[in-house]
Amino acid sequence: MQNNADIQSVVTLTPSAAEEIKAKIAQPENAGKTLRVYVEQGGCSGMSYGMVFDEKRADDLESSFHGVTVLVDPFSADYIRGSVVDFSDALTGGGFKITNPKAKQSCGCGKSFET
């Protein structure tokens, strides 16, 4: 079992990301679900980020920021530990952005990376 310090350090949400997630999780189709941040193979740089509202699984790492719970599976945690999820409502370049200290190279789309 991971200790709390290890779990807290997987992913951090900025206040603006947390507010946007709270608005989305309040929608009926997301009722009872929790934000999951994950990685999967694919994308232009080898690995892609993903975010989805999901159910908690037994091996998930869980943390909370600004009133929002975040789930990360153990596989993804190895790739995104220390990452920060931010949100901007700017017309150009707006949306969610993940800043990952483990990414050696990122794609121009900002959704894929290489470790």
CA angle 88, 91, 93 (to 5 degrees): 60
Q: According to the model, what pLDDT value does residue 12 have?
A: 94
Answer CATH for 4-102 from 3.40.50.970, 3.40.50.300, 2.60.300.12, 2.60.40.10: 2.60.300.12
**Which pLDDT tens digit goes with each residue over 60-89?**
999 999 999 999 999 999 999 999 999 998
**Which pLDDT tens digit goes with each residue over 2-20?**
444 444 569 999 999 999 9
* Cα–Cα distance, 59 to 10 (Å, whole number): 14
Q: Where are the domains of the chain?
A: 4-102
pTM: 0.80
End-to-end distance of the chain based on CA atoms, in angstroms?
25
pLDDT at residue 98 above 80?
yes
